[in-house]
Amino acid sequence: MTSQLWRSLDSILLNTAEGSDRFSDIDFSRFLNQSLTSLNEVIACLDLALDDKYINNQRHQQFLFDANNIYRQLKAFSAKVRHS
């Protein structure tokens, strides 16, 4: 699960970076959407980590707070790209 969590975290950054070099906003938007789906995967891993008692509820809540901030930023960026 740790390996999957790191791959998902890396995917958020890497998809955003790769999409930024695309020649159309539509392509870039697809990569930002992939970043969002990777973030959902991170959240699922965090839920599993809580269920399996690898992290406590306090850490889980902090990670979810951080994930929500990233989610809002990616959604706002994606909306801006689609409407430009």
Distances (CA, A) of 42 to 23, 24, 80, 81, 83: 28, 28, 24, 24, 27
Token couple for 59:
């850490």
Domain extents for the chain? 2-82
Q: What is the pLDDT of residues 1-21, one digit of tens each?
A: 899 999 999 999 999 999 998
What is this structure's pTM?
A: 0.91
Q: Give me the mean pLDDT over the 28-45 stretch.
A: 96
Task: Kindly report the CATH class assigned to 2-82.
Answer: mainly alpha
Band of the pLDDT at 22, cuts 50, 70, 90?
A: confident
Per-residue pLDDT for 82 more than 90?
A: no
* Mean model confidence pLDDT for the chain: 95
Rounded to whole angstroms, the Cα distance separating 5 from 3 reads 5
Give the per-residue pLDDT at 13: 96
